[in-house]
Amino acid sequence: MPGLTFEQIHQKLVEKFGDAVGPLSPPKKDPFCVFAAPRLREICRFLKDAPELYFDFLEDLTATDHPKENLIRVVYHFYSYRHRHLFIAKVELDRKDPQVDSLEPLWKAANWMEREVFDLFGVTFKGHPDLRRILMPDDWVGTPLRKDYVEAGGYLGISNVRDNPLDLYLNMDRQVRAEKAAAQPPPAPSTSPAPGATAGASPAPEHKAES
Amino acid sequence: MKELLDNLILRWGHDPANWPSTQGVYLAGMMLAGVALTTFGAIFAGLLSWWERRVAARIQSRIGPNRVGPGGLLQFLADALKLIGKEDLIPSSSDKLLFRIAPYFVMTGFVLTFVVLPFGYRLSPSYMNVGLFYVVSITALIVVGILISGWASNSKWALFGGIRAAAQVVSYEIPAGMVILVPIIMAGSLNLHDIIRAQGGAPWDWFMFQTPMGYGAFFILFVSLLAEGNRTPFDLPEAESELVSGYNTEYSGMRFAYFFTAEWGGLWVSSALLTTLFLGGWQVPGVSIDTLTRWEAAHAVPWWFYLMSAAVFLVKVLALVNVIVWIRWTFPRIRVDQMMTLCWKYLVPIGMGLVLLEALTEVLSFQIFGEAAKGQAKPGSARDMLHLAFFLIAGVLPLTAFLMKTFKNIQLTGDRVDLSNW
Amino acid sequence: MSLDQLILTKFGADADHEMILNMGPQHPSTHGVINFVVHADGEVMRKAVPQVGYLHRAIEKIGEIVTYPGFMPYTDRIDYLAAMFANEGYALAVEKLLGLQIPPRAQYLRAISCELNRVASHLVSLGTMAMDIGAVTPFPYALRERESINDLLEALCGARLTYNYHRIGGVAFDMPEDWMPLCRKWLDHFEKILGEWDRLISFSEIFVERLAGMATIPAEMAINYGLVGPNLRAAGVDFDLRRDEPYGAYPDFKFEVPIGKAYAGSHRGGQIGDCYDRFYCRVLECRQSLEIVRQALDRFPPGEFMAKVPRKIKPEVGEAQSRIEAARGEMAYYVVSDGGERAYRVRARTGSFLAMGIIEEVSQGLMIADLVALIASLDVVAPEIDR
């Protein structure tokens, strides 16, 4: 793409902010760099306003949960329509109490995206004008997209666990067959085995095998 | 109708003035007429729903109801039966008395107009001297009903619909009432039958083509009646995509059917009014007013004239109803403030101007033509030639252009005119 | 506290001057299940607050549970009206992670199916917009044309709505033998239908008057709020991913990118970025899509329709982002891989989600009828918002 490359943008950021900007990750497909959480807004303001960078489009704002490293990483994708270049940055937050400055004053697009991260990951964005749940119901308990999220077993009395419908049908089928077999008269003690007995006997083992 | 009943009493050998049961016969006659007219209104509403659904479907490249009865003709009966059989739901938080009363206001306002509407030559229940005034005032009951239903439903969306409807209908009464003065001036009477008699059978004898003011008045009245009847492009009160059916959201079953009937039967009333005032009513082309007066003087109006006049009236009303249906399925809806702007900033001043100009024209016409200015123009007279010229310019030319454009549009899409699919 | 008072305190409303109305979640003209809490002062709105989440199906969470190829049908449901794009975005992201090269025939098939789907999606959008404004007839016309597209796509991949056609590495099926002449025939027919559409509704006086100058979103505001796709272009920003950051087969095609130019006309109060611009940009985009499909059919390359992909897709540790120009704007997929069979995180950022964020701001001072027009012109669909 035209405009600056990842390395050049990263270079400019390091020149301006020193070690608040982490190293560019090895080019694992999409290189990113980690910003220091306390200086996030400054760095982003520079990204947005500096004429050679001019990232006017906050393309994506999301998060990833890393329980093994005890981190929640908030991922930012920036894009500039003027220069046609892209930049990816991350902020690493403590998993117990993830808080970071909100970017809403800079890009209004962050408004809803930060609400979504708050809703699904539990990250608090300081300075957000209206931080409340967006996708989940207002009285939902829990942050669903975290790796250790366990469902509460129901919402407002509606259970979220149900039997596998195949099992339900199997049970219904078994019940109907049992009733039919019980209603049939007992087979007459003749020489050949009664057709009812063989007919009743053969499906049953198949059922037992399936269940 | 009074004469009809008097004749009947005379045939039974009683003197209407002295017979004690005269009033009873009158009452029975009136009730019969009322039932017949209400039935006519309801059946027409039902048949119009069939027609509208078929026409709408063909406009939208689909078929429409075609299962119940031949060509879906009995669909409206099936719908009526369904509506009658539905549970009568009254929202618990609504104002129950008003909720129940509202449909009756609307139905009354609708049915009472049939008292003066002509169906043909001497085919109307009464020949009120102030028939036109009566029609305009009685249709105001409908807006009362709509407002009550919007309020009583105790639902914000219904209230929205009711208020919008009230604003709309009341606003458009003004240009309608004003522009009705134009045919009144031309005919010199408020009696609907006199207005028809002042016109003629041929299209250039209609009030619409007699003067440019009549032409403009026709279109203004057309728009105003569309607005009063809550038809697209003025169907804001029941804007389906915004208000989920507006003031009749909470109504179900027969109560909803009342609103329904009143709205669609009201199309007959609007079209009949337009036909009476501007399109020559029941005047049969070829039978001039002199012939008619001669027949009346000799008490020898032929039976086929009654039928022909009714048929002519029916054809004109149905044509107008069809145009209204076409308009509904072609145009989008205008917004509340645009509707108000149209009414108050455009239609009212133009209507006033038309009335003034028409009054001037009448005075001038008396100056120029003298006695021949009154009533139907004699074929071949100067006034008749004027009418013919205006008809050709304002009637034939636009219609031809419209038809040519239609055929060109059809050709441009690579389609063809195919009526076999109906 | 009575229910009315509860509602007023919850929404911070001014009891004497505002009425709180709920538009939705079941409503004939919100596009899907979306709720709008409208603070209305008579017919004029103070603001309209959208409430979303009724169609949240946790698709991103499911992305962590199913395998990479197994997630493809779920992407259809992210935007079921323009499912091909969602498929392609995900496939591109995973292919980036795997470092796969896609054979040109597959790229062309992807482009053709996507452009046809773009037309189909725009038809639904335009038809419902016309219907919301009150003209019911254009909607069946749009659906009638969309039926032909559905038939073509059904011949291609077997499904009419949720196609699951693109695969990681290419596409699922090759083009059937007699598909190309049928497609060309339909392309010619649809050009004429677009003309009819313009005559019927695009230039209809009442329609233009309803939309001209309404809810104008200027370019800076559009960029700041993150609008994408036709919404952004109608605001005047000349950006289209297919031309400016091309992917797949798009470098081979020449097409124009319609931008908002106050098509309603200044005598009606039309401004760049009003509702009518957003509407008409979509109409023009349909035409450009036809152009692209024609060029693709003319140059259709032979070869494989699927690259060599390992049986178990296990990309190396890393993350990849792919951006495609979907029907409703730019859809960005962000896939994080931890080396296993299942993705660590799948994120689909859709255009409708960002478009919803602007409604509260732009709706101030509009009338309720205009709110309907605004929502329709932004072309939001609930599945894209809620995923």
**Which residues in chain C have Cβ-Cβ distances shorter than 8 Å to A60?**
321, 332, 334, 347, 349
Q: What is the pLDDT of residues C300-354, one digit of tens each?
A: 999 998 999 988 889 988 899 999 999 999 999 999 998 889 999 999 999 999 9
pLDDT computed for residue A22 by the predictor: 77
Instruction: List chain B residues with CB under 8 Å of C134.
Output: 232-233, 235, 239, 241, 331-334
Are C321 and C332 within 8 A, CB to CB? yes
Interface A:B, ≥3 CB–CB pairs < 8 Å: no
**B143 phi and psi angles, rounded to 5 deg:** -70, -30
Percent of chain A with pLDDT over 70: 86
Hey, which residues does C49 pair with through a beta bridge?
A: C37
pLDDT at A128 > cutoff 80: yes
Q: How far apart are CA A112 and CA A116, in angstroms?
A: 6
The pLDDT assigned to A197 comes to 45
Contacts of residue C340, defined as CB under 8 A and 6 or more positions apart, other chains included, come to C314
- Which helix (H) or strand (E) segment is B368 a member of? helix B348-369
**Going edge to edge, which strands form the sheet with C318-326?**
C318-326, C329-337, C345-349
Tell whether the model's pLDDT for residue B345 goes beyond 70: yes
Q: What percent of chain A has pLDDT over 90?
A: 35
Q: Is the pTM of this model over 0.80?
A: yes
Contacts with C, B 55-94, CB within 8 Å:
56, 59-62
Structure tokens at A24: 């560019």
Whether the pLDDT of residue B24 is over 70: the answer is yes
| 3 state SS of B64 | coil
Coil vs helix vs strand at C87: helix
For residues A31 and A8, the answer to whether their CB atoms sit within 8 Å is no
Could you tell me the pLDDT band of residue A208, with boundaries at 50, 70 and 90?
Answer: very low
CA atoms A165, A168, A174, A176: torsion sign: negative
Instruction: Say yes or no for a CB contact (<8 Å) between A29 and C97.
Output: yes
When pLDDT is cut at 50, 70 and 90, the band that residue C145 belongs to is very high
Whether residue B376 is predicted with pLDDT greater than 60 in this model: the reply is: yes
Edge-to-edge, what's the strand order for the sheet holding A21-24? A21-24, A33-35, A86-94, A71-79, A57-66
Of C61, C317, C321, the CB nearest to A30: C321
**Cβ pair B38, B32 in contact under 8 A:** no
Q: What pLDDT is stored for residue B176 in this prediction?
A: 92
Q: Check pLDDT > 90 for residue B311.
A: yes
Query: Average of pLDDT values for B222-230?
Result: 90
Cβ separation C369–B236 shorter than 8 A: yes
- Mean of all residue pLDDT scores within chain B: 86
d(CA B96, CA A181): 58
User: Which ipTM was obtained for this model?
Assistant: 0.88
Q: What angle do CA B7, B8, B10 make, to 5 degrees?
A: 65
Chains that touch A (3 or more CB pairs under 8 A): C
**Per-residue pLDDT for A54 more than 60?**
yes
Using only C-alpha atoms, chain B has a radius of gyration, in whole angstroms, of 23
Q: Which of C168, C179, C195 is nearest to C106 (CA)?
A: C168
Q: What is the pLDDT of residue B289?
A: 82
Predicted local distance difference test score (pLDDT) of residue A204: 43
Cβ–Cβ < 8 Å for C233, C240: yes
Question: What is the mean pLDDT of the segment spanning C373-380?
Answer: 90
List, as one string, the DSSP characters of A139-158: T--S-TTSTT----S-BTTB
| Lookup result for tokens 């980036």 | C96
**Distance in angstroms (rounded) separating the CA atoms of residues B48 and B301:** 32
Q: What is the pLDDT of residues A139-148, one digit of tens each?
A: 888 888 999 8
CA distance C291 to C119: 11
Q: C240-286, pLDDT tens digit by residue?
A: 999 988 998 999 999 999 998 888 888 888 889 899 999 999 999 99
Residues C70-96 have a mean pLDDT of 93
pLDDT classification of C287: cutoffs 50, 70, 90: very high
The separation between the first and the last C-alpha atoms of chain B, rounded to the nearest angstrom, is: 41
CA distances from C118 to B317, B402, C83, C275 (A): 46, 35, 9, 20
Please say whether the beta carbons of C206 and B235 come within 8 A. no
Task: Report the alpha-carbon distance of residue B141 to residue A167 in Å, rounded.
Answer: 63
Is residue C348 within 8 Å of residue C323, measured between CB atoms? no
Locate the domains of chain C by residue range.
3-51, 59-386
Q: Is B338 in contact with C43 (Cβ distance < 8 A)?
A: no
* Mean pLDDT computed over B60-75: 88
Q: For residue C281, which of C238, C333, C317, C315 has the smallest C-alpha distance?
A: C238
Do residues C52 and C382 make contact, with C-beta atoms less than 8 angstroms apart? Answer: yes
Range list of H helices, chain C? 3-10, 59-62, 72-76, 83-98, 104-133, 138-157, 179-197, 205-211, 219-225, 230-234, 241-244, 275-298, 351-357, 359-362, 368-378, 382-386
CA distance C221 to C223: 5
Number of residues assigned to chain A: 211
Judging by beta carbons within 10 Å of its beta carbon (0-12, 13-18, 19+), is residue B82 exposed, middle or buried? exposed
Q: What angle do CA C240, C193, C280 make, to 5 degrees?
A: 40
Task: Name chain B's partners: 3 or more CB pairs within 8 A.
Answer: C
- Residues for chain C: how many in total? 387
| Burial of B100 (C-beta count, 10 Å sphere; 0-12/13-18/19+) | middle
Task: Tell how far CA C204 is from the center of its chain.
Answer: 25
Quick count: other Cβ atoms within 10 Å of Cβ C56? Answer: 20
Helix (H) or strand (E) holding A34: strand A33-35
Q: What does the pLDDT average to over A23-45?
A: 83
Q: B118 and B281 in contact (C-beta within 8 Å)?
A: yes
Rounded to the nearest integer, the mean pLDDT of chain A is 83
Phi and psi torsions of A202, nearest 5°: -65, -45
The C-alpha of B243 sits at a distance from chain C's nearest C-alpha, in angstroms, of: 9
- Can the peptide bond before residue C302 be classed as cis, meaning omega within 30 degrees of 0? no
Cα separation, B40 vs C190, in Å, equals: 46
DSSP state of C163: -
Among A122-126, B136-140, C166-170, the minimum mean pLDDT is found in B136-140
Looking at residues C28-42, what average pLDDT do you find? 81
User: What mean pLDDT, rounded, does chain C reach?
Assistant: 89
Distance, in Å, from the CA atom of C270 to the CA atom of C261, rounded to the nearest integer, reads 9
To the nearest 10 degrees (0 to 180), the angle between helices B96-111 and B140-152 is 160
A86-94 and A57-66 beta bridge pairing: unpaired
B343 or B421: whose pLDDT is higher?
B343
Looking at residue C379, its amino acid is D
The DSSP code for C306 is B
Q: Which residues on chain C are in Cβ contact (under 8 Å) with B156? A: 19, 21
**pLDDT of the residue at A206:** 42
Closest CA to C174 of C115, C111, C105, C249: C105
Q: How far is residue C27's CA from residue B241's CA, in Å, rounded to a whole number?
A: 8
> Residue A2: pLDDT band by 50, 70, 90 thresholds?
low
pLDDT over 70 at A203, yes or no: no
Average pLDDT (C226-230) is 92
In the CATH scheme, what is the homologous superfamily, with its name and number, of domain C59-386? Cytochrome-c3 Hydrogenase, chain B (1.10.645.10)
Share of chain B above pLDDT 90, in %: 28
pLDDT digits (tens, 9 = 90+) for B151-208: 888 877 778 778 888 888 899 999 999 999 999 998 888 888 889 988 888 888 888 9
**Cα–Cα distances in angstroms (integers) from residue C335 to residues A143, B123, C82, C293, in the given order:** 20, 80, 20, 29
The nearest CA of chain A is from the CA of C266 a distance in Å of 28
Q: Using CA of residue B109, residue B115, residue B116, residue B118, what is the dihedral sign?
A: positive
First to last CA, chain A: 57
Q: Which of B258-262, C226-230, C287-291 has the lowest mean pLDDT?
A: B258-262
How far, CA to CA in Å, does B233 sit from each of B228, B230, B248, B400, C133? 11, 8, 18, 25, 10
Q: Whats the size of chain B, residue-wise?
A: 422
Give yes or no for a contact between C231 and C329, defined as CB atoms under 8 angstroms apart: yes
- Helix, strand, coil shares of chain A, percent, nearest 5, are 35, 20, 45
Q: Which residues on chain C place their C-beta less than 8 Å from a C-beta of chain A?
A: 52-53, 56, 58, 60-61, 96-97, 223-226, 237, 239, 244-245, 316-321, 323, 330, 332, 334, 336, 344-345, 347, 349, 353-354, 356-358, 361, 386-387
Residue B362, SS3 per DSSP: helix
Mean pLDDT (whole number) for A28-38: 83
Whole-number Å distance between alpha carbons of A76 and A65 = 14
Instruction: Give the count of alpha carbons within 13 A of A54, CB side only.
Output: 11
Nearest-5° Cα angle at B89, B83 to B91: 145
Query: Could you tell me what percent of chain C has a pLDDT over 90?
Result: 61
Q: Is the pLDDT of residue C365 over 80?
A: yes
Determine the pLDDT at residue B154. 81
Both tokens of C30, joined, read 């919100």
Residue ranges of chain A whose CB lies within 8 Å of a chain C CB: 1, 28-30, 32, 56-60, 62, 64-65, 75, 77, 81, 84, 88, 107-109, 111-113, 116, 120, 133-137, 144-145
Q: What is the dihedral of CA B8, B10, B15, B17, to 10 degrees?
A: 40
- Say yes or no to pLDDT of A60 above 70: yes
* DSSP-derived 3-state class of residue C277: helix
Query: pLDDT grade, residue C6 (50/70/90)?
Result: low
- Position C8 confidence tier, pLDDT thresholds 50, 70, 90: low
Rounded (5°) CA angle A144-A145-A149: 55
What share of chain B in percent tops pLDDT 70? Answer: 96
> What is the per-residue pLDDT for B175?
93
pLDDT by residue (tens digit) across C184-208?
Answer: 999 999 999 998 898 888 888 889 9
At A74-92, the pLDDT tens digits run 999 999 998 898 999 999 9
Task: Match 């636009």 to its residue by tokens.
Answer: B398
